[in-house]
Amino acid sequence: MNDIDQKAGFDLRRRQVLALLGASGAALLAGRAPAQSGSARATDGNLPACRVTPAQTEGPYFVDERLNRSDLRVDPADGSVRAGVPLLLELRVSSMSRAGCTPLAGAVVDLWHCDAVGIYSDATDPSFNTVGKQFLRGYQVTDQQGGVQFTTIYPGWYRGRTVHLHFKVRAKARSGRSDEFTSQLYFDDAITDRVQAHPLYASRGQRTLKNDGDGLFREGGNQLMLALVESGQGYAATFDVGLQMA
């Protein structure tokens, strides 16, 4: 993990401690919306049956490209398509209250991640310079059911991290303030091992870190796991995110 990730991880751990003081207090002090995931339904009029999901660092590679699109594989800079095992991802965003979980329409959801060999677009790194490229980045606006869908590829690995995706949700709170929540999504190691055996991924070499060895994964990654199902030549997954809006 690089220094930027470590510092951001420290800040996020501080926010998680604040969350123990109460969800509304954490949202006020951190200026962020604490997120929850799981079943987006209320149970017998009580609190929604949702689990608190930890925020995680956006890392050094977030770029606000303002690319409104569902298929992230194409690089609009040159029309090329990033190759990899297909991944269809649906995120369902809800606004949470004591009355239950209500689908949150009109929220902006960004998704970004590295390609099959660990490279991010529009970024500089000791091992690559992709400034001006825009592959595997984009956002969608949630529909009336709070849903967004992305077509992308299964990400590869890079040194210091397990395989993961980044996402960010930006929405208007009831108070009119803009709330933002950022976290990451992870994969079952057994499935990742199968994907990594694909020649395109294998060209990167054997990965050096799995989930349990990743410092950020240990900070709640087991609550951010994608439940993948096989879909055609790739995989599909749905993940529920609830935001406790101020």
Q: Is the pTM of this model over 0.85?
A: no
The backbone torsions φ and ψ at residue 69, rounded to the nearest 5 degrees and listed phi first, read: -160, 160
Q: Tokens representing 24?
A: 């509304």
In the CATH scheme, what is the code of domain 3-38+45-243? 2.60.130.10
Rg of the chain's alpha carbons, rounded to an integer? 18
Q: What is the pLDDT of residue 243?
A: 80
* Residue 6 binned pLDDT confidence (cut-offs 50, 70, 90): very low
pLDDT at position 172 is 81
Kind and range of the H or E run holding 167: strand 164-172
The DSSP bridge pattern shows strands 35-38 and 229-231 to be: unpaired
SS3 23: helix
Q: Check pLDDT > 60 for residue 31.
A: no
Q: What is the pLDDT of residues 207-218, one digit of tens each?
A: 999 999 999 999
What pLDDT, on a 0 to 100 scale, did the predictor assign at position 175? 67
Measure the CA angle with vertex 148, ends 146 and 149; round to 5°: 150
Looking at residue 53, its pLDDT comes to: 63
pLDDT above 80: residue 164 = yes
CA 39, 41, 42, 44 dihedral sign is: negative
